[in-house]
């Protein structure tokens, strides 16, 4: 018996657009099934996970706080993925952005001027972009696979961060805790409203959203990136500079991830700690694909992903469910999305090999 996939003659565009929704529904169903098996009331648990966190303004603002870094990373990834440059390094680029931003903030901890924040943010963006640029350099200079290099750079970035937070950047008056001093007020992102922790990173994210949308859908540069992704030979044939485009995509990708990182330390956290990111950079990969590499789609997908983070914490607190619920839902979401896409593009076929053989044998006899 052999299962084989045949391409469908007619591809349904509508189904391809609906596929993320379908994946979300399937994830909910499997989640409910799982909770039932664990002996929890499925509807009640799903309510705790997905609806309860949004009951008030504070919940909504927390959702946005969580969504911002994911959105920024995923927007950057979308630019790279459109060029079929598989940057898996958003996490490392985010961490380095946080590290460099913190280093700058500690340096200028006494400043009062508004420029302090500008320098901190610039340092974060530049460091993230540089970390992405490292991947671009390895790829264009040595033809090294960017998937491998960017993953490995993630671990280097994490260990760099740990080194600095346990060493040079540790708060001298911090009772030997592995964390930096609190940043000066001038280098913190201002809050958007009195209640909650929603900060001015929101404006950066909205700006990035519009900029990436214009880049990918209106600009010729974005067109070149897409051509490079779809058809490298055609890009060479019309003279698009592949190396420059790879550099550009990875610098943008890294810069936005760096912005996300510095937004975390200069925003809700206010200092450098070892746990800057609960895997935002990895979640952003799922978000980028869930949003179909389209900025608007990514906006919705990042809100959904943030909800899962929030709901996971809520379920842990109120129902004693393990934190792993969040990752489980993320994983199921990506799995169902890919499965839906495959089944929309291909038709599975069971080939009964033994049946074929007997008919052949009959024919021969």
What residue ranges bind another protein (CB under 8 A)?
6-10, 214, 218-221, 223, 226-227, 230-231, 233-234, 236-241, 347, 359-360, 363-364
Q: Give me the phi and psi of 348, to 5 degrees please.
A: -75, 145
- Whichever of 47 and 217 has its CB closer to another protein, that residue is 217
Nearest approach in angstroms of CB 246 to another protein is: 16
Distances (CA, A) of 349 to 5, 15, 21, 183, 326: 6, 20, 25, 60, 34
Nearest approach in angstroms of CB 16 to another protein is: 12
Q: Give the whole-angstrom CA distance, residue 249 versus residue 363.
A: 59
Tell me the DSSP string of 277-343: -SSHHHHHHHHHHHTTT-HHHHHHHHHHHHHHHHHHHHHHHHH---THHHHHHHHHHHHHHHHHHHH
Nearest approach in angstroms of CB 363 to another protein is: 4
Q: Give the whole-angstrom CA distance, residue 13 versus residue 23.
A: 16
- Whichever of 173 and 364 has its CB closer to another protein, that residue is 364
Nearest approach in angstroms of CB 125 to another protein is: 21
- Whichever of 179 and 341 has its CB closer to another protein, that residue is 341
Q: Is 140 exposed, middle or buried (0-12, 13-18, 19+ CB in 10 A)?
A: middle
- Whichever of 159 and 359 has its CB closer to another protein, that residue is 359
- R_g over Cα of the chain: 23
- Whichever of 7 and 172 has its CB closer to another protein, that residue is 7
Q: Which two tokens stand for residue 40?
A: 């929890």
Nearest approach in angstroms of CB 136 to another protein is: 20
Residues forming a β-bridge with 3: 350
Q: Give me the phi and psi of 226, to 5 degrees please.
A: -65, -40
Nearest approach in angstroms of CB 170 to another protein is: 46
- Whichever of 51 and 234 has its CB closer to another protein, that residue is 234
Nearest approach in angstroms of CB 9 to another protein is: 3
Contact, 281 vs 261, CB < 8 A? no
| Torsion from C-alpha of 219, 222, 226, 232, nearest 10 degrees | 110
- Whichever of 116 and 249 has its CB closer to another protein, that residue is 249
Nearest approach in angstroms of CB 237 to another protein is: 6
- Whichever of 47 and 349 has its CB closer to another protein, that residue is 349
Q: Give the whole-angstrom CA distance, residue 115 versus residue 204.
A: 16
């Amino acid at each position: 018996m052999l299962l084989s996939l045949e391409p469908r003659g007619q591809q349904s565009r509508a189904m391809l657009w609906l596929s993320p929704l379908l994946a979300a529904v399937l994830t909910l169903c499997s989640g409910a099934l799982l909770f039932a098996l664990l002996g929890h009331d499925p509807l009640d648990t799903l309510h705790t996970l997905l609806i309860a966190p949004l009951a008030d303004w504070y919940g909504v603002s927390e959702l946005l706080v969580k969504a911002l870094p994911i959105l920024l990373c995923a927007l950057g990834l979308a630019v790279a993925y459109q060029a079929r440059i598989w940057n898996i390094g958003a996490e490392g680029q985010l961490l380095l952005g946080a590290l460099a931003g913190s280093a700058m903030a500690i340096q200028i901890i006494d400043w009062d001027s508004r420029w302090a924040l500008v320098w901190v943010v610039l340092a974060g963006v530049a460091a993230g972009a540089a970390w992405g640029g490292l991947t671009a350099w390895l790829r264009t200079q040595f033809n090294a696979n960017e998937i491998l290099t960017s993953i490995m750079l993630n671990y280097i970035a994490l260990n760099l961060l740990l080194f600095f937070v346990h060493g040079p950047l540790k708060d001298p008056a911090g009772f030997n805790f592995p964390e930096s001093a609190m940043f000066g007020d001038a280098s913190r992102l201002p809050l958007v409203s009195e209640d909650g922790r929603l900060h001015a990173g929101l404006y950066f994210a909205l700006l990035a959203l519009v900029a990436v949308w214009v880049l990918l859908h209106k600009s010729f540069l974005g067109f070149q990136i897409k051509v490079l992704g779809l058809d490298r030979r055609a890009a060479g044939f019309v003279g698009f500079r592949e190396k420059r485009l790879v550099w550009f995509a990875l610098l943008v990708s890294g810069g936005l991830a760096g912005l996300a990182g510095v937004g975390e330390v200069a925003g809700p956290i206010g200092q450098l700690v070892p746990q800057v990111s609960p895997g935002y950079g990895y979640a952003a990969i799922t978000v980028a694909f869930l949003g179909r590499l389209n900025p608007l789609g990514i906006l919705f997908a990042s809100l959904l992903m943030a909800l899962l983070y929030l709901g996971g914490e809520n379920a842990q607190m109120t129902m004693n469910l393990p934190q792993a619920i969040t990752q489980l839902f993320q994983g199921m979401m990506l799995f169902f999305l890919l499965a839906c896409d495959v089944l929309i593009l291909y038709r599975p076929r069971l080939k009964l090999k033994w049946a074929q053989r007997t008919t052949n044998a009959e024919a021969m006899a």
